[in-house]
Structure 1
Amino acid sequence: MFRSLDVTLAPTLARPTPPLGTLDTAQPESIYRHASVYSAFTSVYNVAGMPAMSVPFGHDGQGLPLGVHFGAPLGGEGVLLALAAQLEEAAPWGTAPGPA
């Protein structure tokens, strides 16, 4: 796939941001039950040991945070870091609008 792509782009979460407590790390069964549902796009990189990053990308209609996930081929950490720097310069992460 990376022969023709520099990076991949996907949402960080495969579903809308869950309410607080849904992914309760104190309850392992909660993580197992929800992990594959919410991490459908990110888990491939975790399992393969490939470089990836999730960065802020505004808020939904309820003011909950949204993110985008970028993946790169093995050894592509520099590309991701350069991309993160360019994204933050273009749209500083601390200035995202809150709920409407």
Structure 2
Amino acid sequence: MQEIGWAVGGEFTRYDVLLSPALARPTPRLGTLDTGRPESIYQHASVYSAFTSVHNVSGMPAMLLPFGPDAEGLPFGVQFAARLGAEGTLLVLATQLESAAPWTCPPTV
């Protein structure tokens, strides 16, 4: 994982942030990731976290932001990642994005 972190981290000499989907697959339906059954989480975790896991294990800062609903009305998010120590870059970006397009909470059911 350290080598992957170095490879990804090396790209931040050319770019300020990396944009990717939050999940590698569409948002799962309720119950797919059954927290009462740990084997369910293990079975699906690597499939859904393909974009986020490198930052989780390498320590590079990243943030997930709401993007809107997908074609089925389920939430869709994006991830922004930055070089080691650049948490401030992400916080400034989040502030600018929220100012430009304020986030709204979906209606409660």
Q: TM-score, normalised by structure 2?
A: 0.84
Kindly indicate whether residue 94 of structure 2 is the aligned counterpart of residue 84 of structure 1: yes
Gaps spanning 5+ residues in structure 1: where?
none
Identity of aligned residues (%): 69
- Corresponding residue for 1:18? 28
1:47 aligns with 2:43: no
Q: Which structure 2 segments of 5+ residues have no match?
A: 1-10
**Number of residue-to-residue matches in the alignment:** 96
How far apart, in 1, do the equivalents of 2:85 and 2:37 lie? 35
The answer to whether 1:72 aligns with 2:82 is yes
Q: Which has the higher helix share?
A: 2
The CA deviation at 1:26 is 2.0
Q: Give TM-score scaled by structure 1 length.
A: 0.91
Partner of 1:33: 43
Q: Which letter does structure 2 place at the counterpart of 1:87?
A: L
Partner Cα distance (2:93, 2:34) in 1: 31
Deviation per residue, 1:11-43 (Å, 9 max, x gap):
000000110011122211111110110010000
Alignment equivalent of 1:4, drawn from 8, 14, 20: 14
Structure 2 distance, partners of 1:26, 1:88, is 35
For 1:69 and 1:56, locate their aligned partners in 2 and report how far apart those are by CA, in whole Å: 9
